[in-house]
Amino acid sequence: MPHSVSPQSTQTQDAPMANTQPENGATEDIKMEDGEAATETKRTVNLDDMFGDGDSDDEYSSSAPVVKDEIPSSPPVPAPVSRNASNSDTEVMRAFYQRLCPFRYLFQWLNHSPVPTADFMHREFAFTVPRGADDVYLRYQSFLTADLLRKQCVQMVPSRFEIGPQYTTDPRERKTLRKASAFRPIKKELVFDIDMTDYDDIRACCKGASICHKCWTFITMAIKVVDKALREDFGFELILWVYSGRRGAHAWVCDKKAREMDDTRRRAIAGYLELLKGGDKSGKKVNIKRPLHPHLTRSLNLLSSHFQEDVLISQDPWASEDKAAHLLSLIPDLKLREALQKKWDSSPGRASISKWGDIDKSAESGVSASLDKKALLNAKQDIVLEYTYPRLDAEVSKKLIHLLKSPFCVHPGTGRICVPIDTRKLEEFDPFSVPTVTQCLGEIDSWEGGDETEGRTINDWEKTSLKEYIDYFRSFVAEVIKEEGRGKRERGDDDDMEF
Amino acid sequence: MLRSDNRIDPKRRAHLSHKKRQFADSEFKQQHYEHRLNFYELPPTTEISLEEFEEWAISRLKVLSELEACSFRNRSPEETTSYMSSILEKHLPLHSNSSRSSTLQDERRKDHYSHFILRLAFSSTPDLRQRFARLETMLFRLRFKEDDTREKQAFVKSLNFDWEEMSKEEKEELAKDLLATTPGIRNVDEEGWFKVDWEQVPELVEQRRVLLRRGRAYVPQREQMSLVLAEFTKRLDSALELTSRALPRLDEDDRLKPILEHLSTNFTAPDVAYSSADGDIAGMSVPTAANIDTLSQHFPLCMQNLHQTLRANSHLKHLGRLQYTLFLKGIGLSLEECIIFWRRSFKLITDEKFNKEYRYNVRHAYGDVGGDANRRGRGYTPYSCQRILTEPLPGPGQSHGCPYRTFAPDNLISLLQKVGVSDRELLRGVKEDVGKQRYHIACNRVFEHAHRVEIKTVKDQGTLGAAQLDTIVHPNTYFKRSWMLKHLGEAGVKEEMMDES
């Protein structure tokens, strides 16, 4: 079942896209090297539009006069709306695909070998292409090589593209098969999607699409817990975490074993990691048996410190009356509940951390004779988990057939590039310092080193702040390929390697 | 017929060629069944009469369809066991060795043969294979659970699984974690553990009932059942696959073929399929986007909940939207009206966003767009209670599913009170049902209470057959019956009721 698919998708699925090209677009893209100069001018004009601030104009010698003519006294701070619009502007996106997006490494990552194999060729890609006010969603795209993928991106300029499973045959040829049942998905990385919207009922700082540093820690916590479980419990090693561009993170588990799992196994892992159940009306969201499963004990230890600082202090989740009422409803003892209610009613605006402390204090003061200490401790553990444990969009992980946005796409709303997150430096990752397309393109322009170093041409992305992320991705991909080679040698089928 | 004239007498066939004689030996050999349970590895080889062939198959089929019905009715494992015991006793008895019954071997032979006959009948299509494997596994599980512990161990032993047992040192090292995954065991020495790849026990992993370390699952002896079951399903699946490939060779046979075909066609799904007849209700004007609010008083609680959430938030998340759209489609709301309904309900979003993100889903559900299969099938069918009850539970912010299942009891009671159910006795009953996980019974209880006057009337007048007052297992049936009962005596309604009985 496609989740938000735009109306035209079926009709236009396989239709040629030629008519969407701007006049000079197509020729430029195909012979990119020759057309470089033309693109350059065109793009910089655009860049100026979005960097409306006058003081940086001098850096763009080629177009500076033009801009100055148009807006003689531009305001120092650009309006956010125009900035957003320009981030996904067609020409910017085209420049992104031409100069920044690391197709080569994406190819190697999915292909697991230097020569194109079915791993890549039978892989489904889905493109979201803006056309007018609507987006067109093209499914079942597939490519023989990285270059062809790049070419199509440059030509169609999708606002994003997604990666699906590898099928039994080339997805483009699926309709030529005699039997429809012969076309089925066989392999895909195990994926996870953590999205901030699922945290809306416990974060006090922001709502909906917006995030801040305070709530990003929820994602940090989630990554820690999931990553640890995948490595220690399931023995997976090749796990790539990717910033989703706005307010979440994706995980791609690339071990061969993980890629080959069927839906039952995927569902099992998702179920193993999923803890919070129930909608808004189901009351208590954490209902777990004791003794705690080792995975939960470990997660609880991991999360406890975060709970104190990142939840109680910085989120202050029980400040309002109805949120505090929710906390009370989670406490098992009736008398204790009443005592706390009274206490908090008499001092409105009491901080959450004090409220949390009150629970123990009141319990010790003996307001309730029949207090079950063990039940209270369990309830407190449940509360910690409810406010810190990862909230996964489990459906994405359960199905082989689900598509997920590719790493290094550009988020259309923020313009930020979906960069990998290095888990060794997880705490330092700052979603607000992730480079945007426009920033990176600007960096290329202001690059002052030559175009060559040690006898080779410097890639455009090496001139930008995207470099550290692509370097990390490249080392990850190398790891994947190495692991794949090891698996092959162990099975002893390396005949095709003898040249 | 020519063909049958040429047929060689089957009793003589094996002796015709000396080359084939080596196979002839097994032909008459009666298998000895040592264990009550059977993994159905070896096909039976002795002859049975055609009558037995058909009779035994039908017996097993009865058992399997009852078992399927239990799962559709959402019976708990205990209820299923008690319900099935009499049926099994009647159609397919299977006693343990300790019972010393004289018919022991005959019972087991019947079980063995009937399984293989149905294998033939249900291997032709992937759908049938899947369903057969699922039901056979359920039956096996049921019997495995019932089995005498000692005989069970002997049976498992006879299967020769190569499961690695944990050494004593290893056990001590992991003692704390092992105990944490198996509530009830106080000492690691009480229990033996197997070490297997976690992929062999997905069921246990999903429920966090085993310890995992770097991809290995530590399965306690008493959870052995899921290992055995996984193995059973795996082997049955591949065996069915093989059978289906061998099936064309049966084409020549004009004695067995008709029986087998008959068996597989009679294995119809008792699933409460939605029939389009549920859609048109005589006497009711065609619903439009504007009168959903009025009609919503006849909706079952799951839909009322969605409706209220929609009105309160001006939004519903995907799965809730889907569940509600299909229900509305089921009551006869046209696609155009449905789109209007959603557009008006999502007050807070722009036309552009609506067209971009929501419109397509509604059209897809109606089969207006999408793949060929979707369009030809005119979209999805409205969800039955069974479907709604077996879906994943709603997560934060979601509101799909059956409230009797997803709501905490207190919230459920307040929701019921909000929709006007306040009878104390009734609410107590609902709470009890929900506690026993009999959600649909609770729902029917509410229905019967809300319509008690009308139900009495129709019963007195005899206008309604017993079939019409059957337990409701589909939200659209709920709506239809509710609407008709409340409009008794109006033109059209009565004839409709008569027609149905």
What are A316-375's pLDDT values in tens digits? 888 888 888 889 988 888 888 888 998 888 888 888 999 999 988 888 887 777 888 888
- Return the structure tokens found at A64: 């500076």
Residues above pLDDT 70, as percent of chain A:
79
Q: Do the chains contact at A6 and B360, CB–CB below 8 Å? A: yes
pLDDT at site A356: 92
Q: Average pLDDT in the A93-100 region?
A: 92
pLDDT at site A298: 94
Virtual torsion, Cα A55, A60, A62, A67, nearest 10 deg: -40
Residues of A in contact with B216 (CB under 8 A): 235
Distance CA B284, CA B483 (A): 8
Q: Do the chains contact at B215 and A234, CB–CB below 8 Å? A: yes
pLDDT band at A215 (very low <50, low <70, confident <90, very high): confident
**Residue corresponding to tokens 């890609």:** A125
**Residue corresponding to tokens 């066991």:** B81
Nearest CA in chain B to A265: B202
Q: Do the chains contact at B371 and A277, CB–CB below 8 Å? A: no
Instruction: Report chain B's terminal Cα–Cα distance, integer Å.
Output: 46
Q: Average pLDDT in the A130-156 region?
A: 90
Distance CA A416, CA A398 (A): 28
Q: Greater confidence, B424 or A476?
A: A476
Pairing of strands A248-253, A190-195: antiparallel
Nearest to B260 by CA among B131, B128, B119: B119
pLDDT at site A32: 40
Residue type, B1: M
Task: Collect all residues with Cβ–Cβ distance below 8 Å to A298 and sequence separation of at least 6.
Answer: A228, A229, A232
CA distances from B148 to B35, B36, B284, B288 (A): 11, 10, 58, 61
Q: Which residues of A are catalytic?
A: 124, 193, 195
Nearest to B411 among A7, A283, A292 (CB): A283
Answer yes or no: are the C-beta atoms of A121 and A143 closer than 8 Å. Answer: yes
Q: What's chain A's average pLDDT?
A: 80
Residues of B in contact with A6 (CB under 8 A): 356, 360
> What letter would DSSP give residue A392?
B
pLDDT at site B18: 60
Task: Collect all residues with Cβ–Cβ distance below 8 Å to B148 and sequence separation of at least 6.
Answer: B96, B97, B98
Q: Is the pLDDT of residue A489 over 70?
A: no
pLDDT at site A476: 95
Q: Greater confidence, A385 or B190?
A: A385
Distance CA B106, CA B108 (A): 5
- Return the structure tokens found at A321: 């009356």
Distance CA B300, CA B303 (A): 6
Answer yes or no: are the C-beta atoms of B448 and B430 closer than 8 Å. Answer: no
> What letter would DSSP give residue A4?
S
Nearest to B293 by CA among B302, B280, B303: B303
pLDDT at site A255: 94
**Residue corresponding to tokens 């990552």:** A109
Q: Per-10-residue mean pLDDT for chain B, 501 residues long?
A: 51 55 55 85 85 90 85 74 88 85 87 92 82 90 85 83 82 87 79 86 89 91 82 90 84 76 64 49 76 89 92 90 92 90 89 86 86 74 85 83 88 88 88 84 88 83 66 87 81 51 38
Taking residue B54's Cβ as centre, other Cβ atoms within 10 Å add up to 17
Residues in chain B: 501
pLDDT at site B324: 94
How would you list the strands of the sheet with B211-213, edge to edge?
Answer: B164-165, B193-197, B216-220, B211-213
pLDDT band at A72 (very low <50, low <70, confident <90, very high): very low
Distance CA B348, CA B369 (A): 26
Q: Is the pLDDT of residue A8 over 80?
A: no
Residue type, B163: W
Q: Do the chains contact at B214 and A234, CB–CB below 8 Å? A: yes
Q: Average pLDDT in the A213-228 region?
A: 92
Nearest CA in chain A to B414: A281
Nearest to A268 among B206, B356, B371 (CB): B206
**Residue corresponding to tokens 């598509």:** A403
Task: Collect all residues with Cβ–Cβ distance below 8 Å to A283 and sequence separation of at least 6.
Answer: A329, B408, B410, B411
